[in-house]
């Protein structure tokens, strides 16, 4: 079944395909955010942990698939990806990673002002201004892409078995 057929069957449109100019602008913004994160000194593994955690919170299967693979390619371990939803209950994550994950969660669900303030203050202890700003932009960006994929119902195709 082609992408077009899949779209018609579910009565959803792939908004990235329907409005390619808007999507290209999002891609350009994502490239800029990736560059800003790198320039600030955030490593790819940390960025991908944030992308995965935000995608878990939002329930975005497409982005979870994509960013889990990217994280593995960047050196992340399957174990840490598997326990990421319970990151607070394990010692597998560093203080910087914990602070980044808390900020990512606060960015994704900003309704708990006390948790947001606590996450921000913890992040200020371990990240420079440039790092923290880039980290928040990473979380904002993946939240946007999650919405595109969720509302478009982008499919997750089976990966070849290794």
The reply to whether 20 falls in a domain is yes
108: domain CATH number? 1.20.1290.10
Residue 159 lies in a domain: no
List, for residues 106-140, the tens digit of each pLDDT value: 999 999 999 999 999 999 999 999 999 999 999 99
Is 45 within 8 Å of 75 (Cβ atoms)?
yes
In a domain, 82, yes or no: yes
Work out the burial of residue 114: count CB atoms within 10 Å of its CB; fewer than 13 is exposed, 13-18 middle, 19 or more buried.
exposed
Q: Does some domain include residue 76?
A: yes
Q: Which domain holds residue 35?
A: 15-152
Q: Quick: pLDDT tens for 20-79.
A: 999 999 999 999 999 999 999 999 999 999 999 999 999 999 999 999 999 999 999 999
- 110 assigned to some structural domain: yes
Interatomic CA distance for residues 156 and 140, integer angstroms: 22
Band of residue 10 on the pLDDT scale cut at 50, 70, 90 = low
Residue with tokens 């079944």: 1
Does residue 157 belong to any structural domain of this protein? no
Tell me if 160 is assigned to some domain.
Answer: no
Say how far apart CA 62 and CA 58 lie, in whole Å.
11
Q: How many domains does the chain have?
A: 1
Whether 162 maps to a domain, the answer reads no
């Amino acid at each position: 079944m082609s992408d077009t057929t899949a779209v018609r069957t579910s009565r959803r449109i792939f908004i990235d395909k329907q409005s390619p100019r808007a999507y290209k602008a999002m891609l350009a913004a994502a490239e800029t955010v990736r560059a800003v994160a790198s320039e600030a000194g955030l490593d790819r593994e940390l960025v991908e942990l944030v992308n995965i955690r935000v995608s878990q919170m939002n329930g975005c299967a497409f982005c979870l698939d994509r960013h889990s693979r990217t994280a593995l390619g960047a050196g992340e371990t399957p174990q840490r990806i598997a326990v990421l939803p319970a990151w607070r209950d394990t010692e597998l994550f560093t203080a910087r990673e914990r602070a980044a994950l808390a900020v990512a969660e606060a960015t994704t669900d900003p309704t708990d002002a006390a948790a947001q303030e606590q996450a921000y203050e913890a992040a200020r202890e371990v990240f420079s201004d440039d790092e923290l700003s880039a980290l928040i932009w990473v979380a904002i960006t993946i939240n946007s892409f999650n919405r595109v994929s969720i509302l478009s119902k982008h499919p997750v195709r089976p990966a070849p078995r290794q």
